[in-house]
Amino acid sequence: MSRDLRSEGVRWPAPVLVCLALAVACSATLLLIFQSKLTFFGDDWTFLIERRGTSVGVFLDPHNNHIALLPVAIYKALLATFGMSSSLPFSVVSTTVFLLSVVLLFAYLRLRVGDWTALLGSILILFLGAAWIDLLWSFQIGYSGAIAAGLGALLALERDQRKSDLAACGCLVVASGFSEVGVPFALGALVYIAAGPEPRRRRLYVGLVPLALYAIWFLGWGHKGPDTLSFHNVVHSPVYVFDAVSQAIASLLGLATPLSGNGLEPVGLLWGHILFVVLAALALWRIRQQGVSRGLLTALTVGGAFFFLSAFNYLPGLRTPTTGRYQYPGGVFVLMIAAELLRGVRVDKRVLAGATVLTAAAVVSWLNALRRPASPRPATAPG
């Protein structure tokens, strides 16, 4: 005699969670298959060969002008455990961290726009071919680790509890140890706290501690790296940000042309510019109707800090608005801002169906972009 599992209190996972799990599994499988055809290249060798020993400088000396504390530690741990005979262990770890960041992004989006819209946004990141270098290159764990920890911090901060504040502070310290991408999250945490109810001063440590630790690192070690900040970069930063956000939007929607030009960078600024102007107008209309919420202010701070800091560090040919490795964090921040603008909006089923078709088209568009670098002859990475 069959028994009714529901009557016995057995709870099945929500359909959206099953779909998310399947999407994550598909992404993991594809990425690891593609990565199996690659080997160490580019800056991998800096961590593997040049960062020898266990002195403080090995971990804290800047890579170019970037903090790389936790990526160096992870590389050294994997090297000691598995050696250099295969890059697969490094790929497994970096891919796992990337997938964790997407799951946390889903949790962030879900609280604002609901289950299925959050799922579509997450899928766009899971198969973001324009950011192939972030998804396939283990070295980019600096980005994925910072984004995962940063999103975890924001989610913890929203619980408004003492223990969750401590967890958020710890996550931001971790994020800043992965890369400078953690700094915008720390600034966003400060804005979230400052825009909230009392007691604000007791909670400011959440963002101040990681920023103070980063400042100590910079004064002690970070200043040894090349200085790319210039008057030219600051003056031209608004144009850079306009192009960078436009490229991120085009990349998310699969409208950028992958691997063109020098074979490394996606371009799609024409579509991106058009969409940016249209979406910015809609955003302003939405703000006039609803005002600037605490969450929107936080997301704008995180995204704005990332894009402007990238502009300040501009280098011709290497750190341009269309640089492939910026499309993953850029896409995440665009989705965060969009989710805050759409918070509370009930999405019509027909709109959701159309969005699903567009998401599927974007994924198909980018699968080829992910496959092309994973050729028997390894691709090279920008410096």
Per the DSSP assignment, residues forming a β-bridge with 265 are 260
For residue 356, being part of any structural domain is answered with yes
Average pLDDT for 31-47: 90
Q: What is the pLDDT of residues 256-298, one digit of tens each?
A: 764 444 444 556 678 889 999 999 999 999 999 888 999 999 9
Per the DSSP assignment, residues forming a β-bridge with 63 are 66
For residue 158, being part of any structural domain is answered with yes
For residue 24, being part of any structural domain is answered with no
For residue 224, being part of any structural domain is answered with yes
Q: What is the pLDDT of residues 291-330, one digit of tens each?
A: 899 999 999 999 999 999 999 988 887 788 888 889 999 9
Lowest mean pLDDT across 26-30, 67-71, 343-347, 366-370: 366-370
For residue 377, being part of any structural domain is answered with no
Q: Considering its fold, how many domains does the chain have in total?
A: 1
Percent with pLDDT over 90 in the chain: 62
Its domain, for residue 69, covers: 40-371
CB 359 within 8 A of CB 124: yes
For residue 101, being part of any structural domain is answered with yes
Distance in angstroms between the alpha carbons of the first and the last residue of the chain: 66
**Taking 90 as the threshold, does the pLDDT of residue 255 lie above it?**
no
Task: Please give the Cα distance from 371 to 5 (Å, whole number).
Answer: 43
**Taking 80 as the threshold, does the pLDDT of residue 371 lie above it?**
no
Q: What is the pLDDT of residues 151-162, one digit of tens each?
A: 999 999 999 888
For residue 259, being part of any structural domain is answered with yes
For residue 381, being part of any structural domain is answered with no
Q: Which pTM was predicted?
A: 0.91
